[in-house]
């Protein structure tokens, strides 16, 4: 029997602490000999990331105890923070970046107990310091190659990036000059090198302002000399209007890369002649699907070649799944199993492919596919149900119609709780969620933050508005010059459609988002009257200020999203929520990390100063020690409960189990 109760008031075992403890996913997966290693979140340990090792016998161990935090700040979003190599004796050798000081460290996990990691790189007091990402060991060389991000002054844009070789003997631990520079600095942004099987060549990616990597990148090929330098670097693919998000090699030494030259990120291959000449690129599986995604971090992988010839690929429209591609015939066979979305990290070893996969009813876990047998199994971070799955949402992927008849993709999560039902004839409130990016994607994977609301009787709709990835270049370029217009319209179109069809209560709709989604939330409260309230999380609010306050990576992002500031300054003012606070009439909750350098607290503080005294109920929670994206369990608990308290206050249901949210006018 189900108890009839107001939507939003239902009791649920999915608490905020449970959602926080299950936040995050495995990442940066690789094999080390016969072992599998990955980084894993630890929300209850101050939000650090550790390194997990799965031995060949199936046992798991945490390689680095607190306070070690395996994460870097390159591009501020980080990148691949570790590499390891198997040695004939003495066990594996590990190099990793430690988040608090951003130094590279060398560690021997199988050394005598108590052996601590040793620093390989120095600390710099200039600007944001020295940062390292995407390391790779080179056979026969006592050094690790990686990307160095080096600040040359105090401003966020006083920075250079270059490929470097870091000696493993520790000689550079206090001496920056002991780090050898490898690349010529032709690009402002670079990814780590990928070395050919014979060790003779390296390929990497580069791009420059004002382009973002999904706008246009170049694949650069260079020869590796006997003394370990790079020569004859030349662009072999990509350009201002062609995005190449990954380039690597197959076992035969042929170049593999993903490119959107046709409007879709597809996979290509080319022979490299002995003299380094590259043959024309050959499309391996031309489809109107994505075989790659946006390069928000260095070291992301959407394909990996097996030694036996096939290529493991992530592909699809919307969410990506794992497939095995025969590059000679174009035959593509998907991996079996319940996983419907795979993260952009893959590893191969022999005939095995390993990745991080999830589904609507399961968290992200480490999955192995044996290409000989076609069988899949979970080998790490296994999903377990902390509560009865009947409390999980049962989502539906839908396509809505927006202005001008354009398609809008969304995942709709209706309320679901086996113990409760809403009053007869009553419609549930709905939260419309806008993902970050905005060049990003909301995937259909189990998220206990979503279940936190749906199991209490509040529906959730995740909108992949125009500008989202997963649907081709034309779809993501709908947002070009239209940020604050198309995203707002698409979210409103989904909200009003849910209300018109009788799925959602039209009087109890909320908008919610973080980062670029926070921008869309704030802009929606300014530009529409669809929503009764909003939750705005570490947002962009002032475009003119953002252009000069944010980090280097996104400092010219607005050139494409809005237009160059010096050409359309009026658009920057007209689009910014901060210049139209008089239009905000709905209550809102503003959540901000005080250490955020991407969307600095100054953005939130300016909005608060302008809205003060205008009679708009609002609350502001600021979290010391948090940056762009909350990582600490206590922060996530407070933020989630505050969001629920806002909806309880505005939508008119009782929630005595969460702290009351004080709203000021």
DSSP, residue by residue, 347-416? EEETTEEEEEEEETTEEEEEEEEETTTTEEEEEES----SS-GGGS---EEEEEE-GGG-EEEEEEE---
User: Which residue is it, tokens 């790189």?
Assistant: 121
Return the pLDDT at 581.
94
**pLDDT (tens digit per residue) in 575-603:** 999 999 999 999 999 999 999 999 999 99
Q: Where are the domains of the chain?
A: 3-16+387-651, 188-298
26 in Cβ contact with 39 (< 8 Å): yes
**pLDDT (tens digit per residue) in 617-631:** 999 999 999 999 999
The C-alpha atoms of residue 436 and residue 551 are separated, in whole angstroms, by 16
Average pLDDT over residues 480-501: 98
**pLDDT (tens digit per residue) in 297-326:** 999 999 999 999 999 999 999 999 999 999
Return the pLDDT at 363.
96
The C-alpha atoms of residue 362 and residue 483 are separated, in whole angstroms, by 33
- Strand-pair category, 396-401 with 407-413: antiparallel
List phi, psi (to 5°) of 487.
Answer: -65, -40
**pLDDT (tens digit per residue) in 414-459:** 999 999 999 999 999 999 999 999 999 999 999 999 999 999 999 9
DSSP-assigned letter for residue 635:
H
Over 90: is that where the pLDDT of 551 sits? yes
473 in Cβ contact with 467 (< 8 Å): no
Question: Which class would CATH give 188-298?
Answer: mainly beta
Return the pLDDT at 665.
86
CA 3 to chain centre: 39
**pLDDT (tens digit per residue) in 42-66:** 999 999 999 999 999 999 999 999 9
1 — pLDDT class (breaks 50, 70, 90): confident
Return the pLDDT at 139.
86
| Sequence-ordered list of residues with C-beta below 8 angstroms from that of 649, at least 6 positions apart, any chain | 587, 660, 661, 663
Return the pLDDT at 556.
97
Return the pLDDT at 321.
98
The rounded mean pLDDT for the chain is 96
**Does 525 or 111 have the greater pLDDT score?**
525
334 in Cβ contact with 170 (< 8 Å): no
**pLDDT (tens digit per residue) in 219-268:** 999 999 999 999 999 999 999 999 999 999 999 999 999 999 999 999 99
Which CATH number, 3.30.70.270, 3.40.50.620, 3.40.50.1820, 1.20.210.10, labels domain 3-16+387-651? 3.40.50.1820
Over 90: is that where the pLDDT of 344 sits? yes
Strands of 282-283's sheet in order across? 246-249, 255-259, 266-270, 282-283
């Amino acid at each position: 029997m189900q108890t009839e109760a107001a939507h939003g008031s239902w009791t649920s075992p999915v608490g905020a602490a449970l959602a926080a403890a299950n936040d995050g996913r495995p990442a940066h997966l690789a094999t080390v000999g016969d072992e599998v290693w990955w980084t894993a979140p630890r929300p209850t340990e101050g939000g650090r990331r550790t390194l997990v090792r799965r031995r060949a016998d199936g046992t798991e161990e945490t390689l680095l105890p607190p306070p070690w935090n395996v994460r870097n700040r390159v591009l501020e979003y980080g990148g691949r923070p570790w590499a390891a190599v198997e040695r004939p004796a003495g066990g594996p050798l590990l190099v990793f970046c430690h988040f608090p000081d951003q130094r590279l460290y060398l560690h021997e996990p199988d050394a005598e107990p108590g052996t601590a990691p040793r620093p390989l790189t120095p600390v710099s007091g200039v600007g944001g310091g020295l940062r390292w990402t995407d390391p790779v060991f080179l056979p026969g060389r006592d050094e690790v190659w990686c990307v160095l991000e080096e600040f040359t002054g105090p401003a966020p844009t006083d920075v250079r990036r270059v490929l470097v070789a870091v000696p493993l003997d520790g000689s550079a631990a206090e001496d920056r000059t002991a780090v050898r520079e490898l690349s010529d600095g032709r690009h402002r942004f670079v990814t780590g090198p990928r070395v050919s099987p014979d060790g003779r060549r390296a390929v990497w990616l580069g791009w420059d302002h004002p382009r973002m990597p999904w706008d246009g990148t170049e694949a650069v090929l260079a020869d590796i000399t006997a003394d370990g330098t790079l020569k004859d670097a030349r662009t072999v693919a990509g350009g201002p209007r062609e995005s190449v998000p990954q380039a690597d090699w197959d076992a035969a030494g042929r170049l593999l890369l993903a490119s959107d030259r046709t409007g879709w990120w597809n996979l290509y291959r080319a022979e490299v002649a002995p003299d380094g000449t590259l043959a024309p690129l050959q499309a391996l599986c031309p489809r109107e699907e994505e075989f790659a995604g946006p390069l928000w971090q260095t070291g992301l992988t959407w394909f990996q070649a097996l030694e036996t010839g096939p290529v493991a690929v992530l592909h699809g429209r919307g969410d990506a799944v794992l497939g095995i591609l025969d590059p000679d015939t174009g035959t593509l066979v998907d991996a079996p199993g319940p996983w419907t979305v795979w993260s952009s990290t893959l590893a191969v070893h022999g005939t095995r492919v390993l990745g991080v996969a999830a589904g609507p009813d399961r968290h992200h876990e480490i999955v192995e596919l044996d290409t000989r047998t076609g069988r899949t199994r979970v080998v790490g971070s296994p999903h377990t149900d902390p509560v009865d799955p009947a409390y999980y949402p049962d989502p539906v992927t839908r396509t809505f119609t927006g202005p001008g008849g354009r398609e809008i993709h969304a995942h709709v999560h209706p309320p679901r709780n086996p113990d409760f039902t809403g009053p007869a004839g009553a419609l549930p409130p709905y939260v419309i969620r806008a993902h970050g990016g905005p060049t990003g994607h909301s995937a259909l994977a189990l998220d206990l933050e979503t279940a936190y609301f749906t199991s209490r009787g509040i529906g959730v709709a995740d909108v992949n508005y125009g500008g989202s990835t997963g649907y081709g270049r034309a779809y993501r370029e709908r947002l070009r010059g239209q940020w604050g217009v198309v995203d707002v319209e698409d979210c409103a179109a989904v909200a009003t459609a849910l209300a018109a069809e009788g799925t959602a209560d039209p009087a109890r709709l909320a908008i919610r988002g973080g980062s670029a989604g926070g921008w869309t939330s704030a802009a929606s409260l300014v530009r529409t009257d669809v929503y009764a309230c909003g939750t705005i999380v570490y947002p962009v609010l002032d475009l003119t200020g953002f252009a000069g306050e944010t980090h280097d990576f996104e400092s010219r992002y607005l050139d494409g999203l809005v237009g160059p500031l010096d050409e359309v300054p009026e658009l920057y003012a007209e689009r910014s929520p901060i210049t139209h606070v008089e239009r905000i009439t709905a209550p809102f909750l503003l959540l901000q990390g005080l250490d955020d350098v991407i969307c600095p607290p100054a953005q939130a503080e300016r909005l608060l100063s302008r809205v003060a005294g205008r009679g708009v109920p609002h609350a502001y929670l600021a979290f010391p020690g948090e940056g762009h994206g909350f990582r600490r369990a206590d922060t996530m608990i407070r933020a989630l409960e505050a969001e629920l308290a806002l909806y309880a206050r505005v939508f008119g249901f009782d929630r005595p189990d969460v702290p009351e949210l004080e709203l000021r006018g």
